[in-house]
Amino acid sequence: MSILVFVEHHDGTIAPGSLGVVGAARELATAAGVPLTAVVAGPGASGVAGSVPVDTVYVADGDRFQVAVGRVDALAAAIDASGAQLVLASASVNAADVAGGLAGRLGVGINTDLTGIAFEGGAFVASRPSLDDSVVVRCGWNATGGFQGIALFRAGSFAPVEKAAPGSTETLEVADSGRRSQKFLGLEQAETTGVDITKSDVLIGAGRGLGGPEHFQLVEHLAQTMGGEVATTRAVVDAGWYDYATQVGQTGKTVAPKIYIAVGISGAIQHKIGMQSSGTIIAINKDPHAPIFDFADYGVVGDLFTILPKLDEQLAARKA
């Protein structure tokens, strides 16, 4: 028996979302008392397999595993080889394709849009925000023994684990299912503008408390001092103060930086859902009853216009 993670990789690097799911899967496997395994598939899989921190990595290298049908073949083979009870993956276009194919092939269920998972009373129980993220539904898999099903997590639900040496690496023997497959024609890099806040270790979250776009240089400067980026709330984006690409939350991005400093943010559930997995959450708010203080690790009650310049000054002095 085992827990199996579908690990994605691009250009010789493991996707941060997959490393996040590996961390959550490690806790799950420990609680269930089973080994943690992973599948890495596609061209270049052998090159990255050595840095996936699980007990056994199953490798399916080659062009055949570039497309969904080949990857489903590889996962089905890995489930047989490892006796997996559950397959976990971080949501992406690719992972959704593969998870759908695998569920159809094996006749099992998928729980999607998950943000957490635990082993309770001998069963796997996942958390899924619903009804505009105003409630969290507990859900499981309707299977008796053996392989239960598939768990697909919202991207960024967990902070990526540090890469480490795996227990062992095994080349998968994958029989060709004979199913008709797509042909891989190539990959074109889309043009991107601005920053990708999901990749930053430090985020300075800026809320309506900043009062207007003219005050954003305060958070931009702090982000620069700390080597991070500025993230925002929907209230800020709706007011046209900052770019939508920086919005965190239900209708924005899900992030899990090492440090998230929430400045002038009330901590509404729709924002919380997008940043609650951050390593350390620090809140600066003048209202001591702001909901953000209910889940922040550290809270500073006070006026951000007084606190931010002092904080910035102290950090700059320490850096020097």
Ligand X SMILES: Cc1cc2nc3c(=O)[nH]c(=O)nc-3n(C[C@H](O)[C@H](O)[C@H](O)COP(=O)(O)OP(=O)(O)OC[C@H]3O[C@@H](n4cnc5c(N)ncnc54)[C@H](O)[C@@H]3O)c2cc1C
Residues at the interface with ligand X (CB under 6 A): 132, 207-209, 233-236, 247-252, 264-266, 268, 270-271, 274, 284-287, 290, 303-305
The DSSP secondary-structure symbol of 253 reads B
Tell me the C-alpha distance between 21 and 7, whole Å.
Answer: 9
Q: In the bound complex, what is the minimum distance in angstroms from residue 215's beta carbon to ligand X? A: 9
Q: Which is nearer to ligand X, 88 or 304 (CB)?
A: 304
Do the Cβ atoms of 205 and 263 come closer than 8 Å?
yes
Q: Which is nearer to ligand X, 37 or 285 (CB)?
A: 285
Cβ 264 to ligand X, closest distance in Å? 4
Q: Which CB sits closer to ligand X, 202 or 265? A: 265
Q: Which two tokens stand for residue 289?
A: 């009853």
The residues pairing with 153 across neighbouring beta strands, listed in sequence order, are 90, 114
Cβ at position 154, least distance to ligand X in Å? 12
The residues near 73 (Cβ < 8 Å, ≥ 6 apart) are 60, 64, 65, 174, 175, 176, 177
What is the spatial distance between Cα 28 and Cα 125, in angstroms, rounded to a whole number?
Answer: 10
| Closer CB to ligand X, 36 or 265, in the complex | 265
Please give the Cα distance from 129 to 251 (Å, whole number). 13
Between the alpha carbon of residue 241 and those of residues 177, 236, 265, the distances in Å are 53, 6, 14
Any bridge partners for residue 284, and if so which?
A: 263, 300
The CB-nearest residue to ligand X is: 249
Q: How far is the CB of 110 from ligand X (least distance, A)?
A: 24
Supply the minimum distance, in Å, between the C-beta of residue 63 and ligand X. 39
* 247 three-class SS: strand
Q: Which amino acid is at 154?
A: R
Q: How far is the CB of 293 from ligand X (least distance, A)?
A: 10
225 vs 285, beta carbon nearer ligand X: 285
When the beta carbons of 77 and 155 are compared against ligand X, the nearer one is 155
